[in-house]
Amino acid sequence: MNHLAKVLSTFLPRVERERGSRKASIVAGSLALALAALVGIAPSAAAQDAPQPHGPEGLKRVGPVDDYYGFPYWYEDTSGLKLGICKDTAKCFFGANPLVPLSFPQSVADAQAGNYNWPDEMFYYAAENLEIAPLPLRARVMWHVAIEGAFATGEVMPGQQVVFARLRIRLRSLLPESTYTVRHPYGEEVLETDVDGGVFYTRDLGLAVGDFTGALYGDIGPFLVPTGFNRNSPKGTYLSNGGLTLETVDGSPIQRNFVEYEGPGIGNVFPALRVNGNPNLIRSSVFSMQGQVAEQSGVGIDDAYYSASGNSADSTLATSVSVFAQSAEGQNMIARAQNGSWVPMQESSTPGHYFAQIDLGGANSALPSNLEVRNTSDTPVTSKGKATLPDLVTVHGASYTIGQGGGPSTLAVEVTSTDTSRSRTVDIEFGDFQVTPGTTGGQGDAAINQPVPATYVPPTAVTVRSSAGGVAEFPLQILGAGKTTQTPQTPGPSANAGIDQSVDIRTVITLNANASTGNIVNYMWAPPVAGFEIDAVASQGAQLVGLVTQAGDLTFTLTVLDDAGRASTDTLVVHVTDPNVVHDAITITAARFDVGRQLWDIVGSSNVEWNQRVDLYFALLDASGVMVRDANGNPVKDPNRRIGAAIVGALGVWRYRLPVSVLQPQNVPTGLDTTVIAESVLGGTASIVFRASR
């Protein structure tokens, strides 16, 4: 191993080397948190509250997705610096074989066969502050941030690409069970050391498969860069030399281009880093880092549709294509349809967004069926294509008029298509009710009026699909006031104890059953015998108030009675934790089920070494097959579907590898099972989406 390789082998990977695996924290512990916090949230979603970054600023935007690799071309910070995946194995942590051309598996079969040269993790950006105490002490402090690409499966697999923002802090061999404050360029963390004087803290945000916007809302932003680095450097410029040099930095949004560690005796461990001689405060201002200014800006197609009028039979057919694309600002973008002439695209007032309307004239006897957009500012030129072009469907109105006197209700939808050259079938999705399709007329208009049974409960919106491929969704307006000639039977009561809670021990909790329905005359709570002290004064009617005095799961049962003597029950669980109890941190590196051999193989790690038990379960699914999550968004174990148990070895690694023949039948995965949960006897948990193979 040459000198550079040795340095790189201890740069970013060293964060995980002491115990466990890098993949484990990617696929397991942080996946549930990140999915719960950020899945499906887009930065331009004006109809909902804009997601807020965890740090002071966050990043600005994410670039188009490279069709071949399936990852974005770049991430941009608020200063305008765009960083792409750093692929140089000499200057980045990039685990591909440097002697073989890069290649990405284009199918699951290719990935399973190993037909690729691409790493299972890669970095758009990483910066690390690491200080190691002089020997013979083993103490160290480490702060690390990264915009990292990986795979939800833990291994290279097309369709499983994720990108997340990571903040990681590790402390070692400091004062046990003590509080240390870490002030860093993006904020401040207050951490408790374990019995060995250590901390292993990770926060990953943005782990949603295929949705690359989540990393924008992590701790990072803007990117830290070496002091004096030109943020307008040309494409391909490296931030640094891959960690060979420790450098001072610029870029903290709170003017803190250093990391401070404050806590009992830390200045005695690192005397050279003391701040004004303070034995409890040190400061470090040098970082190793990696990153590369994006080599390509790429191109993405936001929307594209065709318009048509006239008739192909008499050569009066006139067609045009409207295309909306995205890239970096100031790019030379061109587009063409049906392999015709290239048309320049115009950049909109929002930088990085482009538009063109391509006029195909009346000489075409067929509607356009394909589109290509190119960014000729890139070297080599990047492009994006669409094999089919839909029409544009516009919904002008959608209403649901409630029937009178028990009669049928009426659904009315008005639609226009940009294709007026021929009739188009228009399908209406209206919940599970079958709506008779409509047909567009000579102006591309269609009006659907259809009776609906009075007993049908309408959805909130309708979805319209044209036979030419156009799709539109429109909110449903409810009109009229329904009256019935029948006297409905009064429904019985329905108890609702509220949602489960998670609190610390010695917390006063309030349970409220006001969400229960019916003519309720009596609320009855059945608290547990131990672990809950009722406040008799505050506990009146639907409300139950008291102090939790015992850690664990406390189950409360609510029973309601209505004026007809009918009863309904519901339960609520309060998860009580003791913050003074140190739980271990466990991870799952990989989980597979060999269908052919009916064999489980689940591997993980724990920071509590030697001889503790880790139990394995399937995640709990509800009646519709949706995974149940707790109040923090973490998957909930199914206590009736325990897979088995593994014992942690001397190096903190555990493995469960047993055939189904020694398991109960309910522990064989079904078509709905997607997640395995590990739970240690000390309370540590982790989860992973397991992979079935043949």
Task: Say which CATH number the domain at 555 has.
Answer: 2.60.40.10
**One domain for residues 274 and 361:** no
Instruction: List the CATH number of the domain containing 453.
Output: 2.60.40.2950
In a domain? residue 658: yes
Which is higher by pLDDT, 662 or 436?
436
**One domain for residues 545 and 667:** no
The range of the structural domain enclosing residue 624 comes to: 586-693
For residue 42, is pLDDT > 60? Answer: no
pLDDT at position 487 is 40
In a domain? residue 496: no
For residue 263, is pLDDT > 90? Answer: yes
User: Which secondary-structure segment (H or E) carries 109?
Assistant: helix 108-113
Angstrom distance (rounded) from CA 493 to CA 505: 33
Instruction: List the CATH number of the domain containing 684.
Output: 2.60.40
Angstrom distance (rounded) from CA 338 to CA 533: 74
**One domain for residues 233 and 307:** no
**One domain for residues 304 and 289:** no
Count: domains in the chain:
5
Provide the b/e sequence for 57-71 (b: ≥16 CB within 10 Å).
Answer: bbbbbbbbbbeebbb
**One domain for residues 429 and 569:** no
State mean pLDDT over 352-375: 83
pLDDT at position 10 is 29
Percent of the chain at pLDDT above 90?
43
Q: Sign of torsion, CA 469 209 123 80?
A: positive
Angstrom distance (rounded) from CA 594 to CA 513: 47
**One domain for residues 455 and 554:** no
In a domain? residue 74: yes
Torsion of CA 170, 176, 177, 183, to 10 degrees: -40
Per-residue pLDDT band at 116 (split at 50, 70, 90):
very high
Per-residue pLDDT band at 27 (split at 50, 70, 90):
very low
**Most confident region among 35-39, 485-489, 625-629 by mean pLDDT:** 625-629
Pick the closest to residue 43 from 352, 372, 465 (CA basis).
352
State mean pLDDT over 536-547: 81
Residue pLDDT, tens place only, 227-239: 999 999 999 999 9
Per-residue pLDDT band at 421 (split at 50, 70, 90):
confident
Angstrom distance (rounded) from CA 226 to CA 291: 11
**One domain for residues 452 and 349:** no
pLDDT at position 641 is 87
**One domain for residues 21 and 169:** yes
Q: Is 625:672 a contact under the CB 8 Å cutoff?
A: yes
Q: Which residue has the tokens 């409810």?
A: 478
State mean pLDDT over 409-419: 91
Angstrom distance (rounded) from CA 356 to CA 369: 17
Among 334, 364, 386, give the residue marking a domain's end: 386
**One domain for residues 164 and 276:** yes
State mean pLDDT over 150-176: 93
For residue 72, is pLDDT > 80? Answer: yes
Which is higher by pLDDT, 513 or 491?
513
pLDDT at position 455 is 82
For residue 687, is pLDDT > 70? Answer: yes
**One domain for residues 420 and 514:** no
**Most confident region among 146-155, 406-415, 573-582 by mean pLDDT:** 146-155
pLDDT at position 120 is 92
- Average pLDDT of the residues of the chain: 83
Q: Which residue has the tokens 């990140």?
A: 34
pLDDT at position 154 is 87
Q: Is the pTM of this model over 0.85?
A: no
Q: Note the maximum CA span of the chain.
A: 91
Q: Which of 169-173, 187-191, 207-211, 593-597 has the lowest mean pLDDT?
A: 593-597
Among 525, 550, 577, give the residue marking a domain's end: 577
Per-residue pLDDT band at 571 (split at 50, 70, 90):
confident
For residue 40, is pLDDT > 50? Answer: no
State mean pLDDT over 131-157: 91
Q: Is 572:671 a contact under the CB 8 Å cutoff?
A: no
In a domain? residue 51: no
Among 577, 605, 620, give the residue marking a domain's end: 577
State mean pLDDT over 290-308: 94
In a domain? residue 203: yes
State mean pLDDT over 259-271: 96
Which is higher by pLDDT, 693 or 674?
674
Which is higher by pLDDT, 234 or 361?
234
For residue 442, is pLDDT > 80? Answer: no
pLDDT at position 583 is 66
Q: Which residue has the tokens 């040309």?
A: 234
**One domain for residues 374 and 443:** no
For residue 3, is pLDDT > 50? Answer: no
In a domain? residue 487: no
In a domain? residue 365: yes
In a domain? residue 187: yes
DSSP letters, 580-642, are TSPPP-EEEEEEEEETTTTEEEEEEEESS-SS-EEEEEEEPB-TTSPBPB-TTSPBPEEEEEE
**One domain for residues 573 and 633:** no
Per-residue pLDDT band at 312 (split at 50, 70, 90):
low
Q: Is 333:292 a contact under the CB 8 Å cutoff?
A: no
